[in-house]
């Protein structure tokens, strides 16, 4: 190396008082010259270097909030709960996009044939059921272990997640239902079955595994739709007034059972 920076130049540089042109030229030299780098290091303002480094560290390492998490925080949900909720597989954008796609197909199908609305009605309750099932399982959920260790009690967390999944899927399905041909009261006939299926499944998970509870209830639903259609000859048989009353009753009973089971869990924990 033919020349080296003199002490005064390095001091000005370290203090930040060097003009841009000379600072750039010196930086080019510093990149190549170990000797001048070694002489600059002790002159640097260490507190400032620490601050800059901490900022860089924060920027690079800080976990990024997902869009769902940002919305939850904006709605006033506390940070750690928003993170646990946003990590729910069925509250992520890909999942919600998949639900929207399923609904779009069902709406298109309903416009193509007379029985279309029945297909939409049969499919709609399965979407929140799948979403809530995904919110449960260790087989799908990367934060399952964190959930277990979370300050929020595991079962309460599951219920909170399930409620939000139910809410988001219901809103999406409700919007899709408005696009059905000849919107009438039938377009809402999926609502009570959806609520009934989810609540009964969640209540069942307090006795049996989530796979069995959700899988069993989903199979029963598909069975009921097929059998009702086959025995009555009416594609809407599983959605008529008596069926709606049955689903409302099932939802109410499941909600009561769930409240009672939750109380029992709390009592057991405190004992
Ligand atoms: Zn040098």
Do 147 and 172 lie in one domain? The reply is yes
Token pair for 185: 């009261």
Token pair for 154: 């595991």
Rg for the chain, CA atoms, rounded: 30
Predicted TM-score of the model (pTM): 0.68
**Ligand 1 mean position to 38 CA, how many Å?**
9
Do 43 and 156 lie in one domain? The reply is no
Angle formed by the axes of helices 126-136 and 191-204, to 10°?
A: 30
Do 99 and 139 lie in one domain? The reply is yes
Do 130 and 262 lie in one domain? The reply is yes
**Ligand 1 mean position to 4 CA, how many Å?**
4
Do 125 and 202 lie in one domain? The reply is yes
**Ligand 1 mean position to 17 CA, how many Å?**
19
Q: Which residue ranges of the chain lie beneath pLDDT 50?
A: 140-142
**Ligand 1 mean position to 42 CA, how many Å?**
15
Do 125 and 249 lie in one domain? The reply is yes
pLDDT in tens, 230-255: 888 887 888 888 999 999 999 999 99
Token pair for 216: 């069993």
Q: Is 126 contained in some domain?
A: yes
**Ligand 1 mean position to 11 CA, how many Å?**
14
pLDDT at 255: 94
Q: Is 51 contained in some domain?
A: yes
Question: Residues lining ligand 1 (ion), CB within 5 A?
Answer: 4, 33, 35-36
**Ligand 1 mean position to 47 CA, how many Å?**
25
**Ligand 1 mean position to 1 CA, how many Å?**
7
Q: Is 2 contained in some domain?
A: no
Q: State how many domains the chain has.
A: 2
Domain enclosing residue 223, as ranges:
67-270
């Amino acid at each position: 190396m033919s020349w080296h920076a003199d002490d005064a130049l390095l001091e000005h540089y370290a203090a930040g008082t060097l003009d841009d042109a000379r600072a750039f030229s010196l930086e080019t030299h510093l990149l190549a010259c170990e000797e001048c780098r070694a002489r600059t290091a002790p002159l640097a303002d260490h507190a400032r270097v620490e601050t800059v480094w901490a900022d860089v560290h924060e920027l690079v390492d800080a976990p990024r909030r997902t869009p769902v998490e940002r919305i939850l925080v904006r709605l006033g949900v506390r940070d750690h709960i928003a993170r646990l909720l946003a990590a729910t597989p069925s509250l992520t954008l890909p999942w919600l996009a998949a639900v929207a796609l399923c609904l779009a197909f069902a709406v298109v199908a309903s416009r193509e044939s007379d029985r279309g609305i029945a297909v939409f009605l049969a499919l709609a309750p399965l979407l929140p059921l799948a979403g809530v099932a995904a919110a449960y399982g260790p087989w799908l959920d990367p934060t399952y272990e964190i959930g277990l260790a979370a300050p929020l009690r595991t079962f309460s967390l599951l219920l909170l997640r399930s409620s939000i999944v139910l809410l988001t899927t219901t809103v999406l399905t409700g919007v899709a239902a408005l696009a059905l041909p000849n919107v009438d009261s039938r377009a809402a006939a999926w609502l009570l079955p959806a609520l009934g299926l989810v609540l009964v499944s969640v209540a069942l998970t307090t006795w049996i595994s989530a796979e069995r509870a959700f899988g069993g209830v989903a199979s029963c639903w598909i069975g009921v739709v097929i059998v009702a259609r086959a025995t009555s000859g009416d594609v809407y048989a599983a959605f008529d007034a008596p069926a709606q009353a049955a689903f409302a009753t099932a939802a109410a009973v499941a909600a009561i059972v769930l409240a009672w089971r939750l109380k029992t869990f709390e009592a057991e924990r405190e004992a």
